Structure 1
Amino acid sequence: MSDPRWNSGGWEPVPQPPPPSDPASPVRPYAVTGGRTAPRMKLAMEALVSSATAEQRELSYMTPEYQAISQLCRQIRSVAEVSALMRMPLGVVRVLIADMAAEGLVRVHQPQLDEGRPDVNLLERVLSGLRRL
C-alpha cells in the first residue's frame, strides 16, 4: 500500500518500504549502544560506509545490529541511508558505525570539506539515494 504524494502532474502513489523481516526488537536503541549517545569519532551523516567483512562466516560473532550494518554496507551507503534502512535513530547508527570502524569491520569515507562546507555533489548523490528509498 502507498500514500499519495502531490507533484506537478497531480497525486501519485509513494511506495512504502517493506515491513522488517524480523519482529521488532524489544531492546531500546540506547541499550544497543551501551547508553552512549555520541560516536567516538566525528561521523557526518553523509559519510559513506563500506563493509570490511568479506565472508559470511565472519558475521557469526557479531551482534544482530553489526550484522545488519555489515550486510547493508556490502554496497557503499551513507550513514543516513543505513539509519533509514535499519529504521533506527541516526544517533544510534552513528555510534554503531563508529564502533565498527574502530574494530575494522567497516570503512568510513568522510566527505572532504571545502572551507568548512560539504561537497555539493556528494550531498546531491545522498539526497538522490534517499529519494529512491
Structure 2
Amino acid sequence: MDRPERPAPGHEANLVRPYTLTAGRTGTSVDLPLEAPIQTLQSGLFHQWPPNDLRGKIIQLCIKSPSVAEISARLDVPLGVARVLVGDLVTSGYLQVQATLTENSTHDERRELIGRTLRGLRAL
C-alpha cells in the first residue's frame, strides 16, 4: 500500500487554491514585465499588513527590488498569482515597477540584468 508523500520538513502544503488569492483574476492593468525590478514605496512600509498576509510578504521582499519571477519563486506561488498581486500593490501605490531593458539599453544595463538574474537563481 503506497503512502501519500508528505511535504518536506519546514515546508507546509498550501491548501489555498491560487485563484482564491486573486479572486479569480488572471490579469493586471499594470504593464508588468516578468524581469522588471519591483521596489517597495514608503507607503507600503508604513501600511499595517495582517500577520502572514501574502501582500505584506511581497512588500518585504521588494525592499531588495526582486523581479516578479523572483517574487513568485521565493514565495512559492504561481507566477500568475504573483503578477496579479504585484499589479494590485502597484495600482494601490505600495510598489513601483522599475524600468527594464529596451532596444536602446546599454551593454552595462544588459550585463546588470544578467548579473541580477544569475544572483537570483543562485539564491534559490
TM-score tier, shorter chain, comes to 0.7 to 0.9
Shift of 1:39: 1.8
Q: Where do 4+ consecutive residues of structure 1 move more than 4 Å?
A: none
Percent identity of paired positions between Structure 1 and Structure 2: 37
Which deviations, in whole Å up to 9, do the C-alpha atoms of 1:31-50 show, x marking residues without a partner? 11111112222211111011
Q: Give the TM-score normalised by structure 2.
A: 0.74
Contact 1:51 1:74 in 2 (8 A): yes
- Show the counterpart of 2:6: none
TM-score, normalised with respect to structure 1: 0.70
Contact 1:46 1:123 in 2 (8 A): no
Q: Distance in 2 between matches of 1:97 and 1:62?
A: 18
Q: Can you list the C-alpha shifts for 1:83-123, whole angstroms capped at 9, x where unaligned?
A: 111000111101110110000011111313116xxx63214
Is the contact between residue 101 and residue 110 of structure 2 (CA under 8 Å) also seen in structure 1? no
Q: Which moved more, 1:24-33 or 1:83-92?
A: 24-33
Cα distance change on mapping 1:78 and 1:66 into 2, 3 Å: same
Normalized per residue, the structure richer in strand is 1
Alignment of 1:1-133 (within 5 A): 19-20=10-11, 23-52=12-41, 53-55=44-46, 58-60=47-49, 64-114=53-103, 120-121=110-111, 122-133=113-124
Q: Which has the higher helix share?
A: 2
Aligned residues: 110
